[in-house]
Amino acid sequence: MSVARPSHLLLIAVFFAAGIFIATFADAAWLRHQRGSATEQNRALVTQLQLTDLCLFTEARYTRHLSQADLHSAFQDHPLGLEKFPTGSLVAPPAHLIAAHERLDRQAAIPD
Amino acid sequence: MNAWIAKQQYLIDFTLSSLARRKAKNLGLLIVYTLIVFLLASVMLFTHALRHEAAHVLDGAPEVVLQRMVAGRHDLIPPGYLERLGRIRGVQNKEGRLWGYYYDPVVKANYTFMVPNREPVPAGTLVVGAALAKARGLAVGNVISFRSYSGKLFGFSVARILSPDTELVSADLVLLNEGDFRNFFEIAPGYFTDIALSVANPQEVRNVATKLAQQFPDSRPILRDEILRTYESIFNWREGIVLALASLAILAFAIFAWEKASGLSAEEKREIGILKAIGWETGDVIKMKFWEGALVSLAAFVFGYVLAYLHVFHTSAMLFTPVLKGWAVLYPHFDLPPVIDGFQVATLFFFTVFPYAAATLVPIWRAAITDPDSVMR
Amino acid sequence: MIELTDIRKAFNQGRENEFHALGGIDLQLPAQRVTALRGPSGSGKTTLLSIIGCLSRPTSGRVRLKGQDISGLPERFLTDIRRQTFGFVFQQFNLIKGLSALENVMLPAYPLGGDWRELHEKAQRLLGDLRLSHRREARVEWLSGGEQQRVAIARALINDPEIIIADEPTANLDTALSMEFMAILEKLSASGKTVILTSHDPLVVDSSIVHQVVDMRDGRVVRQDTTRNTMESPA
pLDDT of A111 higher than 50: no
CB count, 10 Å around CB of A102? 12
Chain A residue numbers with beta carbons less than 8 Å from the beta carbon of C109 are none
Exposed (0-12), middle (13-18) or buried (19+): which is C216, by Cβ within 10 Å?
buried
Tell whether the model's pLDDT for residue B52 goes beyond 80: yes
pLDDT tens string A29-45: 999 999 999 999 999 99
Helices (H), A6-85: 6-49, 61-64
Q: Are residues B226 and B313 in the same domain?
A: no
Number of domains in chain C: 1
Q: Which residue of C has its CA nearest to A6?
A: C103
Question: What total of structural domains would you count in chain B?
Answer: 2
Is the Cα dihedral C138, C139, C142, C147 positive or negative? positive
Q: How many CB pairs under 8 A join B and C?
A: 91
What subunits make at least 3 CB pairs under 8 angstroms with B?
Answer: A, C
> Within an 8 Å CB–CB cutoff, is residue A4 touching chain C?
no
Neighbours of A44 (CB within 10 A): 13
Best residue of B18, B270, B272, B278 to probe chain C, by most C CBs closer than 10 Å: B278
Is the torsion defined by CA of B364, B370, B376, C5 positive or negative? positive
Residue of chain C whose alpha carbon sits nearest to that of B369: C75
Chain A neighbours (≥3 Cβ pairs under 8 A) are B, C
| Nearest CA distance, C232 vs chain B (angstrom) | 31
- Does A92 score more than 70 pLDDT? no
Counting residues of chain B whose pLDDT is more than 70, the rounded percentage is 96
Please check whether residue C221 is in contact with residue C27, taking contact to mean a CB–CB distance below 8 angstroms.
yes
User: What mean pLDDT comes out for the span A73-90?
Assistant: 46
Selected for mutation to probe chain A from B114, B127, B136, B166 (highest A CB count within 10 Å) is: B166
Alpha-carbon distance B24 to A75, whole Å?
Answer: 47
Query: What is the rounded CA–CA span in Å between residue A64 and residue B68?
Result: 19
Is C235 a domain residue?
no
pLDDT at A83 (0 to 100)? 47
Q: Which of B180, B199, B232 is the last residue of a domain?
A: B232
Query: What residues in C contact A11, CB-CB < 8 Å?
Result: none
Within its chain, how far is the Cα of A42 from the centroid? 15
**What's residue B121's pLDDT?**
93
Total length of chain A? 112
* Per-residue model confidence (pLDDT) at position B231: 85
Give the highest mean pLDDT range of A55-59, A94-98, B371-375, C171-175: C171-175
Residue B262 pLDDT class (50, 70, 90 cuts): low
Q: How far is A1 from chain B (nearest CA, A)?
A: 17
> Which residues span the domain enclosing C213?
2-225
Percentage of chain B with pLDDT > 90?
A: 43
Distance, CA of B90 to CA of B203 (rounded, Å): 10
Is there a contact between C107 and B18 if contact means CB atoms under 8 Å apart?
no
- Same domain as B192, residue B177: yes
CATH (domain of C166): 3.40.50.300
Per-residue pLDDT at A64 = 83
**Span between the terminal Cα atoms of chain C, in Å:** 12
Q: Which residues of A touch C117 (CB under 8 A)?
A: 3
Instruction: Specify whether B104 is located in the same domain as B197.
Output: yes
Residues B78 and B204 in one domain: yes
Partner-chain contact B280 C159, CB within 8 Å: no
Q: Which of C50, C83, C116 is opposite residue B373, by nearest beta carbon?
A: C50
Amino acid at B186: E
Is residue B83 less than 8 Å (CB to CB) from chain C?
Answer: no
Q: Which of residues 65-104 of A touch B (CB under 8 A)?
A: 65-68, 70-73, 80, 82, 84-86, 88-89, 92-93, 101-102, 104
Residue C230 belongs to some domain of the structure: no
List Cβ<8 Å contacts ≥24 apart for B361-365: B361/B286, B361/B289, B361/B290, B361/B293, B362/B261, B363/B260, B363/B261, B363/B262, B363/B263, B363/B264, B364/B264, B364/B272, B364/B285, B364/B286, B364/B289, B365/B286
> Mind telling me how many Å the CA of C198 is from chain B's nearest CA?
12
- 8 Å CB contact of A55 and B60: no
| Weakest-pLDDT range from B137-141, B353-357, C42-46 | B353-357
Distance from CA of B376 to the nearest CA of A (A): 31
- Residue B198's CATH number: 2.40.40.20
Q: How far is the alpha carbon of C18 from chain B, nearest alpha carbon, in Å?
A: 17
Which residues of B fall within a CB distance of 8 Å from A66? Answer: 230-231, 234
Q: Beta-carbon neighbour count of residue B307 at 10 Å?
A: 17
Contact check, Cβ <8 Å, B65/A68: yes
Taking the C-alpha atoms of residue A71 and residue A52, their distance in angstroms, rounded to an integer, is 17
Same domain, B227 and B266: no
| C37: in domain | yes
Interface of C to A at Cβ within 8 Å reads 116-117, 120, 124
pTM above 0.90, yes or no: no
- Which residue segment(s) compose the domain that B306 sits in? 2-58+235-376
Read off φ and ψ for residue B101, nearest 5 degrees.
-110, 150
Same domain, B12 and B117: no
For an interface test with B, which of A5, A7, A61 has the most B Cβ atoms less than 10 Å from its Cβ? Answer: A7
B225 with B259, same domain: the answer is no
Query: Inter-chain contact C56–B280, Cβ cutoff 8 Å?
Result: no
Of the three residues B200, B232, B264, the one that is the final residue of a domain is B232
Which residue intervals of chain C are DSSP H helices? 45-52, 75-85, 101-106, 116-129, 145-157, 175-190, 202-205
Q: Does C39 reside within a domain?
A: yes
Q: Is the pLDDT of residue A105 over 60?
A: no
Block means of pLDDT (10 residues each) for chain C, 235 residues, are: 90 85 90 91 89 89 90 84 91 91 94 91 94 92 92 94 93 90 93 92 90 91 71 42
Predicted local distance difference test score (pLDDT) of residue B239:
62
Q: Which of the given ranges, A105-109, B13-17, B19-23, B230-234, has the highest pLDDT on average?
A: B13-17
Which residue from B minimizes the CA distance to A67?
A: B227
Residue C13: inside a domain: yes
Please identify, among B232, B257, B281, the residue that sits at the C-terminal boundary of a domain.
Answer: B232
Shortest CB distance from C56 goes to which of B270, B284, B371? B371
Model confidence pLDDT, tens digit, residues A12-29: 999 999 999 999 999 999
pLDDT of residue B226: 85
Beta-carbon-side half-sphere exposure of residue B170 (alpha carbons within 13 Å): 30
Give which of C41, C55, C103 to mutate to test B binding, by max B Cβ within 10 Å. C55
CA distance B18 to chain C (A): 7
**Buried/exposed B157-186: b ≥16 CB within 10 Å, e otherwise:** ebbebbebbbbbbbbbbbbbbbebbbbbbe
